Structure 1
Amino acid sequence: MAEKVKLYGMWVSPFCRRVELALRLKGIPYDLEYIEEDLSSKSPLLLKYNPVHKKIPVLVHNEKPIAESLVILEYIDEIWKSNPILPQDPYQRAMARFWARFIDEKVLPTVWEAYFGAEKEKEKCTQEASQQPKLLEKELNGRDFFGGDSIGYVDIAAIVIAFWFRVTQEELLTKEKFPLPFNWIEKLQASDAVNECRPPIEKHLEFVRTRYEAFKSAAK
């Protein structure tokens, strides 16, 4: 029986792009059943498949829905064994999960506050955000990717840094300040699978500018 795979997402969401990249690396033909969601008017199917969080991404595999991007990545790796994205060693696998959660629970909230937060919090969050790449730099430890010689779980989780930081916080991640993470980004950009998942730069910039202006207007 043919596998039925659907992905409910949004073009600019880094969490959706994580899932898209994992599917591409696995060679799964998700793109024939990709459903673009309008988050201002969520579809009945999205609400049906993710009634708890009502968010994207949602992967539907043979009519079974899985939500939350990091959970989906692990599911994909369990179901489709080729081209594993998680390390096979239990300790390394635990460390990969640790750094992926660090990105979601520490890096992303800090950068969000540095860009969209109240003025009194911006300086503190910007300083903190400027230190976080140093921790990731140590984790790279001179390797091409966090996954070693090939793109793995942490690399997929960290594409938000590779592409979204370059749009909202470009001054934080320069080659002079962080040569290893910068080289990592360049190696990611050499991957066809990664570039196929990347939002169009100008469209992405315009989206961020529009959202920033709307946020500032609402905050007045």
Structure 2
Amino acid sequence: MAQVKLHGLYGSPFVHRVELVLKLKGVEYEYIEEDMVNKSSLLLKYNPIYQKVPVFLHNEKPIVESLEIVEYIDEIWKGNPILPQDPYDKAMARFWAKFIDYKCRSAIWNSIWSKGEEQEKAKKEAGEALKILDNELKDKKFFGGDKIGLADIVGNFIAFWSGILEEMSGVTLITEDKYPNLCRWIAEYLNCSIVKESLPDRGIIFSYFQARYQ
């Protein structure tokens, strides 16, 4: 029986966060693909409150919610840390991770899927949030400095999934003239070999969202 297991869903940016951290740290794990239409009894057992993925198991003890899972992995497996040791720097890393997750991601999502005035409001909100990120990345390779850190991992949605959504919908949000530092970061993140290994197939994700959009 594997010591580490991950219940996930192909193409989920939240599951990808966990997979990337496991790969960065060289942790072997068993992956269990879930059907979110017909949820397994194990998923319902391990995550009875939210009943969603990812669910991470370490010695049969379940942990849910991607941010909590990622920080747990970082505490247990010390190699290649994704959070700095300095308390202030650690607090800042958590701040940017939550800003990306709760402010940027939702605004980008609403910019794609909403219509009319609601869409214009979301696009404005997304633009303001992305500008803040662009300023934060000035003179930085990654949010974490010279290597991928917590905020970079949480920003995977911006780096990969948002580009697919923009192409699929025809809604343009992130351009190099508006956000040069953010675009440079996206290129750095996507060109990282270990990131490439863990990302889902772009064509499959595009087709999935295109079917939903139509």
With normalisation by structure 2, the TM-score equals 0.94
1:176 aligns with 2:177: yes
- The answer for the alignment partner of 2:74 in structure 1 is 77
- The answer for the alignment partner of 1:218 in structure 2 is none
Amino acid of the residue matched to residue 18 of structure 2?
V
Q: C-alpha deviations, 1:34-91, integer Å up to 9, x for none?
A: 0111111111101111111111001101100000000001000000001100011111
Deviation of 1:119 after TM superposition, in Å, equals 2.9
Provide the C-alpha distance between the structure 2 equivalents of 1:197 and 1:45, rounded to a whole number of angstroms.
24
Contact 2:160 2:190 in 1 (8 A): no
CA RMSD of aligned residues (A): 1.4
Amino acid of the residue matched to residue 74 of structure 2?
D
Residue in structure 2 matching 1:39, options 26, 36, 60: 36
1:135 aligns with 2:132: yes
Q: What pairs with 1:144-183 in structure 2 (closer than 5 Å)?
A: 144-169=141-166, 171-183=172-184
Secondary structure, aligned partner of 1:8: strand
- The answer for the alignment partner of 1:7 in structure 2 is 6
Provide the C-alpha distance between the structure 1 equivalents of 2:107 and 2:188, rounded to a whole number of angstroms.
25
Secondary structure, aligned partner of 2:126: helix
In structure 2, relative to structure 1, the CA distance for the partners of 1:3 and 1:199 (3 Å cut) is: closer
- The answer for the alignment partner of 1:120 in structure 2 is 117
Query: What 5-or-longer segments of structure 1 have no aligned partner?
Result: 214-220
- The answer for the alignment partner of 1:21 in structure 2 is 20
Deviation of 1:118 after TM superposition, in Å, equals 4.2
Provide the C-alpha distance between the structure 2 equivalents of 1:45 and 1:118, rounded to a whole number of angstroms.
38
Residue in structure 1 matching 2:47, options 28, 31, 50: 50
Provide the C-alpha distance between the structure 1 equivalents of 2:95 and 2:204, rounded to a whole number of angstroms.
32
Provide the C-alpha distance between the structure 2 equivalents of 1:202 and 1:161, rounded to a whole number of angstroms.
17
Contact 2:142 2:152 in 1 (8 A): yes
Aligned length: 210
Provide the identity percentage: 51
- The answer for the alignment partner of 1:111 in structure 2 is 108
